[in-house]
């Protein structure tokens, strides 16, 4: 579930995909359950997602690659500052 949350998938969609009660997912996100483990896993998956997105930019060249890398970097910083 941490991986889905790191990929910005809505809690209702996570519940549908995984088949788990939406209330439990919302408790995880709110920090009511697994207070230490869940945020650590989310941070891990966000970093993994960031690295994957950055490596995917290698197919582009020039200004479009630079702009995409800057946008990915900015989004990652915003996610980690929350």
User: How far is residue 68's CA from residue 3's CA, in Å, rounded to a whole number?
Assistant: 22
The CA radius of gyration of the chain, in Å to the nearest whole number, is: 15
Q: pLDDT value at position 82? A: 59
Number of domains in the chain: 1
Structural domain including 11 reads 2-81
Place of tokens 């009511």: 32
Determine the pLDDT at residue 52: 92
| Residue 16 structure tokens | 């549908």
**For residue range 11-44, what is the model confidence (pLDDT) as tens digits?**
899 888 889 899 998 998 888 988 889 889 989 9
Which of 7, 4, 3 is CA-nearest to residue 76? 7
Reply yes or no on whether the pLDDT at 67 is more than 70: yes
Please write the tens of the pLDDT for every residue from 39-60. 899 899 999 999 999 999 988 8
């Amino acid at each position: 579930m941490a991986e889905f949350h790191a990929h910005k998938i809505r809690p209702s969609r996570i519940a549908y995909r995984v088949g788990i009660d939406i209330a439990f997912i919302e408790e995880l996100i709110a920090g009511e359950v697994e207070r230490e483990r869940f945020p650590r896993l989310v941070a891990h998956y966000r970093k993994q997602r960031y690295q994957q997105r950055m490596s995917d930019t290698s197919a582009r060249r020039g200004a479009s690659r630079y702009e995409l890398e800057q946008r990915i970097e900015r989004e990652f910083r915003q996610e980690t500052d929350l």
